[in-house]
Structure 1
């Protein structure tokens, strides 16, 4: 009897794990029709790396998504790329029952919302508008409903390329890991706008400083290293990643490295950037003529070393996400309507395709384990 106890214990642990841990992938898209499916939820098999559809919702152009810290609510940039309008919308997700329920929408206070993020406390939603450039902050109810905007900032500055940057274009709004600061990447003005976030104030956002990026770089997406000591910004138009030392709202440049190989000299369309949970590898996506994922190893001082490239096996990879275990990457190829899952080699960082799923004009993915 005693000789069987370790085996029985392992079986019980396994059953407990498989019974109570589920990983879901949340997809947004450009469906261009409020009466068509646009927001999709799939279950990710974390052994095989395959996707199984769970539920969907009809809403127009949920182009970018974020989740509440507990994963019970989904927030989406909606009515994206729709003239003279824009909104943010909320949904409740029940992972046990696998149900998705629309809650409400609010105006994005500007045209073409493209990015949103939730504060670590789960009490605020921040949104960035690209075309009518600005930042909007919304309080969130405990029931997941989005309350009316409590703060809004407009920006009108341009930069050195008048064809692309006649004025500001906010492309990401990212809270620091501790929630004390907000960083807004302004592609149009080649700046990262920094705000202090005071949770005790009715209007928490306080503009503090501006980080100027390389002229013409077009800062797009921004992320932090898990250790909180380094931050990284991808330049859409320069095809580069800028590495920063980070401390209390301050960024100090330590490196700028290309996301493309030497054969490409112009026409960069870099898009998204993320780091594995263990902090060992950083990945970026490149659209345009490349349609690939650039793979970097992260050095002890936070700087990057290129490892190689992996085709996304589709066209126009707008975003991607790494699952919480750090085992898989899912990338969204908008123009080929294809979500592709890759497994991550834990030693080398290299990627291997495990599955692909057709999702019409898929534009965004987020992953959460419950």
Structure 2
């Protein structure tokens, strides 16, 4: 009897160890949705898979026929994409059982030209229309259908006549608590704060607006994990601006350059990401720079520059951390590739690798949880 029990215990232990090893191997594989600009019906939303253990990375189209899906995200069981063109559309998709293909559920007019950003939270979706200078709100039905609720038009301009001749809504983000919506308008040099009432048929109303430094061109923003700070990447001046955020109010705390002191040339700051612990901020810069900048939070609560590093390609419009934050992947629109950096979790520093893959004009990466 003792021998039987010992054998059973050995088998159980071996089984658990084997299962643990399998789980560890699985955890080292990463998947990303890839948004892009398209040139043919065969192109569309892509899926990037990355296995660092074998140094394997691959790209394939999983939703062909979507025109310029420049921004994609997964929320719950559904995937959403824009079609960035003059007509402008928001689309919803479902996965097949193996999560290797997407099938369209619904498509709806974005109520403005060239939608370029989507945010989703608690059954609401917000689409930012860059050329339209407005944003639109939708409600998500249980089966993935989209119900239009509201559009808000911005007006105004700023000092850069080539880029700020009119309103250009570039992104909208929900606060972590879901009470507010912050909208970055590159054309008017303002961040607009809207209050959210989900019980209202028109759920957002303007609460306040915060002026940026003239000519900044606010593009994307990110909240700190606890929601008390907001980090804005200013496209036209290649600046990262840190704001305190409380009850819908923004107060500037710091302005940090994405440039080396001796840099000369064109700039085009694009994306900002925050580590899960809130200690590190990452930002990309295009133009003649083509860099990723890393900022670390000091014990005094301020951020300091720790690295400006070549992005490894041309026009790093977007980048993303893996879900465990061990790697950072950069999508290059002009050189049409995605490159991989290792990330030091302790100090935030990025180290280039030789791992990269070709992809048609990739402009957005959305990290999928395994």
In the alignment, which of 111, 114, 124 is matched to residue 109 of structure 1?
111
- Aligned mates of 2:185, 2:288 — CA distance in 1: 24
1:130 aligns with 2:135: no
CA deviation string 1:323-355 (max 9, x = no partner): 221111111100111011212112232222341
Q: Which runs of 5+ in 2 are unaligned?
A: 1-5
Instruction: Note the C-alpha offset of 1:369.
Output: 1.1
Aligned residues of 1:190 and 1:219 also touching (Cα < 8 A): yes
- Aligned mates of 1:15, 1:154 — CA distance in 2: 51
Aligned to 2:70: 63
Aligned to 1:172: 171
Aligned residues of 1:181 and 1:197 also touching (Cα < 8 A): yes
In the alignment, which of 24, 32, 39 is matched to residue 25 of structure 1?
32
Q: Which runs of 5+ in 1 are unaligned?
A: none
- Aligned mates of 1:171, 1:115 — CA distance in 2: 7
CA deviation string 1:149-201 (max 9, x = no partner): 21001112001222221111111111111111101100111100110111222
- Aligned mates of 2:179, 2:301 — CA distance in 1: 22
Aligned residues of 1:49 and 1:341 also touching (Cα < 8 A): no
196-205 vs 49-58, which moves further: 49-58
Instruction: Note the C-alpha offset of 1:37.
Output: 1.4
Instruction: Note the C-alpha offset of 1:321.
Output: 1.1
Instruction: Note the C-alpha offset of 1:46.
Output: 5.6
- Aligned mates of 2:257, 2:27 — CA distance in 1: 42
- Aligned mates of 1:351, 1:153 — CA distance in 2: 40
Aligned to 2:180: 181
- Aligned mates of 1:140, 1:240 — CA distance in 2: 35
1:340 aligns with 2:339: yes
- Aligned mates of 1:48, 1:352 — CA distance in 2: 18
Bigger Rg over Cα: 2
Structure 1 stretches (4+) deviating beyond 6 angstroms? 2-7
Aligned to 1:76: 81
Taking structure 1 as the reference length, the TM-score comes to 0.91
Instruction: Note the C-alpha offset of 1:7.
Output: 6.7
- Pick closer, same or farther for the CA change 1:50–1:285 going to 2, 3 Å: farther
Aligned to 1:144: 144
Instruction: Note the C-alpha offset of 1:313.
Output: 1.3
Q: How many residues are paired up?
A: 361
- Aligned mates of 1:101, 1:128 — CA distance in 2: 23
- Aligned mates of 1:94, 1:276 — CA distance in 2: 31
Instruction: Note the C-alpha offset of 1:264.
Output: 2.3
